[in-house]
Amino acid sequence: MKKSLRFKDVTLAVFLVLFLTACGGGGGGAGSSSSTSYTGLTTQATIDENNAEELSTGAYMGGQTGSAIGGTVGVIQSGECGLAGRPSMFKVVQVLEGSLHKVDFMSRTYGTFVGEIYTDSATIYGDCGGSGSITLSVDDQTGNFSGRMNFNNYCDEGVTFSGNMDLSGQMDLYTEEIIEFTFSFDNITATMGSDSITLEGDISLFSVTSYGGTMTMNITLRDNSTKETFRLKDCTMTFTERANYVDMELSGRYYDPNYGYVDINTTTPLRIYGDNENPSEGILVVNGKTGIGGGSTKARLTVLSSSTYKVEADTDGDGFYDYDTGVLYWSDL
């Protein structure tokens, strides 16, 4: 019997929207001996008028590490959910996931033994330069697969990767679609222009359907220019795709090196229409340390349009927002 085992595109529209932010210049090649362990504050942040905007947009974008890398990687450690403007972690995932889909394991004759595992290798080339090699083992009865990807200045969507990454997951042998997959990496470097970040951790996508799915992230990111690290811990994103928009719901913990961590949730789903880079509606709330009013200090990012938003803060934990930035622009992030 012959069956085509092709990695067809999984609809991940959210990856076109959510990207981490990274900055800096220069180097830090993947696989270097320098650690990407989180080195910032690990206590819960107290939110006030001086940090409300930075913490809420940092949580949305996955880090405040300089210029937005067009959706590259903002350092996120234990719980950061990057979403602002074009949160970069998702840009990274989009490119990594897209590289996997370039591998076409064409029809092959199955063996006669149940549960046979076979291995194939392939070389892929980036749309804007570089290459990558992939070795993948697939169980022809269960659809379980595992393997390793090696990137040599592999460039796609304007993002260049160097380093190694392990992957695993499961595909449907009949529909040829990926059901779930996990990327695990240690000191892999992503660059865009003069921006460079190094990341380690894992990203998993599961419960994938034609209408959406769920992604979890535990990632530490280092800005290779400033050496600051950010962290996303137990960050979960559920996205639902409709005819002309995508809704995203987020939860998790975001660590900022200068302020500590905040807990994230979307009280109203973030909605992105068409090819827009930014959401057009939705509310994201980050909760910090207990204030003198007895409740959590918090910041609320309210999307006003695909070009504007505002941030409010409850700086004393009394349940009322006593600080308001007024109208802000995504383009300024």
The verdict on residue 79 lying in a domain is: yes
Residue 170: predicted pLDDT:
86
Q: By residue range, what is the domain housing residue 240?
A: 2-25+38-332
User: How many domains does the chain fold into?
Assistant: 1
Residue 17: predicted pLDDT:
26
Residue 100: predicted pLDDT:
62
Q: Which residues pair with 170 in a beta bridge?
A: 144, 180
Which of the listed ranges 94-103, 107-116, 186-195 does the model predict with the highest average pLDDT? 186-195
Residue 77: predicted pLDDT:
28
Mean pLDDT of the 161-171 span: 88
- The percentage of the chain sitting over the pLDDT mark of 70, rounded to a whole number, equals 72
Residue 66: predicted pLDDT:
35
The verdict on residue 91 lying in a domain is: yes
Residue 31 binned pLDDT confidence (cut-offs 50, 70, 90): very low
Phi, psi of 54 (to 5 degrees): -65, -40
- Residue that has been written with the tokens 């989180």 in this structure: 38
- Give the whole-angstrom CA distance, residue 10 versus residue 213: 10
Please state whether the predicted TM-score (pTM) of the whole model is above 0.85: no
The encoded tokens of residue 233 equal 């811990």
The verdict on residue 33 lying in a domain is: no
Phi, psi of 99 (to 5 degrees): -65, -35
Mean pLDDT of the 117-128 span: 83
| Residue 93 CB partners (closer than 8 Å, separation 6+) | 12, 15, 183, 203, 205, 215
The verdict on residue 32 lying in a domain is: no
